[in-house]
Structure 1
Amino acid sequence: MRWPTIRPRERATHAGATLSTAARSASRSSVPSSSAQRRAAVATRAPTRSHTSSTSRGPSRCTLTGSRYIGVCKGLGVTLRATLFDMDGLLIDSEVLWHRAEHEVFGRLGVVLPADLRATKGMFVEEVVAYWRARQPWSGPSDAAVVAELLERVGDLVEGEGRLLPGALRALDLAEACGPLALASSTPTALIERCLDHFGLRGRFEAIHSAEDEPYGKPHPGVFLSAAAALGVEPTACLVVEDSAAGVLAGKAGRMTVVAVPVAEDRGAPAYALADLVLASLDELEAAWLDARFA
Structure 2
Amino acid sequence: MIKTVIFDMDGVIVDTEPVHHFAYYQHFKHLNIEVTHEMYASFTGNSTKNVYQKLKDTFDLEHEVEHLVQTKRSLFNDAFDVKEDLDLLPGVRELIVDLHDNGIQLILASSASKVTIERVFNRFGLHQYFTHIVSGEDFPKSKPHPAIFEHAASLSVAPKEACIVIEDSTNGIKAAKGAGIFCVGYQSENSKLQELEEADKIIAHFNELDYQKVRDIK
TM more than 0.5: yes
Q: 1:130 to 1:175 in 2, by over 3 A?
A: same
Q: 1:261 to 1:146 in 2, by over 3 A?
A: same
* Higher fraction of strand: 2
1:128 aligned to 2:56? no
Moved over 6 A (4+): none
Matches within 5 A, 1:219-234: 219-234=144-159
- Segments of structure 1 that go 5 or more residues without pairing to the other structure are 1-78
| Alignment partners' CA distance in 2, 1:254 and 1:127 | 20
> What residue in structure 2 maps to residue 196 of structure 1?
121
Deviation at 1:148, TM superposition (A): 0.8
Task: Give secondary structure in 2 for the equivalent of 1:164.
Answer: coil
| Alignment partners' CA distance in 2, 1:122 and 1:200 | 24
| Alignment partners' CA distance in 2, 1:233 and 1:226 | 13
- Look up the equivalent residue of 2:55 and give its one-letter code: W
- Segments of structure 2 that go 5 or more residues without pairing to the other structure are none
| Alignment partners' CA distance in 2, 1:138 and 1:186 | 23
Task: Give secondary structure in 2 for the equivalent of 1:181.
Answer: strand
Note if contact 1:155-1:195 (Cα within 8 Å) is conserved in structure 2: no
Deviation at 1:291, TM superposition (A): 4.2
> What residue in structure 2 maps to residue 280 of structure 1?
204
Note if contact 2:44-2:169 (Cα within 8 Å) is conserved in structure 1: no
Deviation at 1:237, TM superposition (A): 1.0
- Look up the equivalent residue of 1:86 and give its one-letter code: D
> What residue in structure 2 maps to residue 249 of structure 1?
174
| Alignment partners' CA distance in 1, 2:201 and 2:174 | 13
How large is the RMSD of aligned CA atoms in angstroms? 2.5
- Look up the equivalent residue of 1:221 and give its one-letter code: P
> What residue in structure 2 maps to residue 65 of structure 1?
none
Which shows bigger deviation, 184-193 or 111-120?
A: 111-120
Which of the residues 153, 158, 167 maps onto 2:80? 158
1:94 aligned to 2:19? no
1:168 aligned to 2:57? no
> What residue in structure 1 maps to residue 30 of structure 2?
108
Q: 1:201 to 1:156 in 2, by over 3 A?
A: farther
Task: Give secondary structure in 1 for the equivalent of 2:19.
Answer: helix
Deviation at 1:112, TM superposition (A): 3.5
| Alignment partners' CA distance in 1, 2:127 and 2:30 | 33
Deviation at 1:258, TM superposition (A): 1.8
| Alignment partners' CA distance in 2, 1:119 and 1:185 | 16
Task: Give secondary structure in 2 for the equivalent of 1:273.
Answer: coil
* Higher fraction of helix: 2
- Look up the equivalent residue of 2:47 and give its one-letter code: F
Question: TM-score scaled to structure 1, two decimals?
Answer: 0.64
1:182 aligned to 2:104? no
Question: TM-score scaled to structure 2, two decimals?
Answer: 0.83
Q: 1:186 to 1:121 in 2, by over 3 A?
A: closer
Q: 1:231 to 1:292 in 2, by over 3 A?
A: closer
Q: How many residues in Structure 1 have an aligned counterpart in Structure 2?
A: 212
Cα-to-partner distance string for 1:11-68 (whole Å, 9 max, x where unaligned): xxxxxxxxxxxxxxxxxxxxxxxxxxxxxxxxxxxxxxxxxxxxxxxxxxxxxxxxxx
Note if contact 1:129-1:147 (Cα within 8 Å) is conserved in structure 2: yes
Fraction of identical pairs, as percent: 27
| Alignment partners' CA distance in 1, 2:81 and 2:207 | 23
Q: Which has the larger radius of gyration?
A: 1
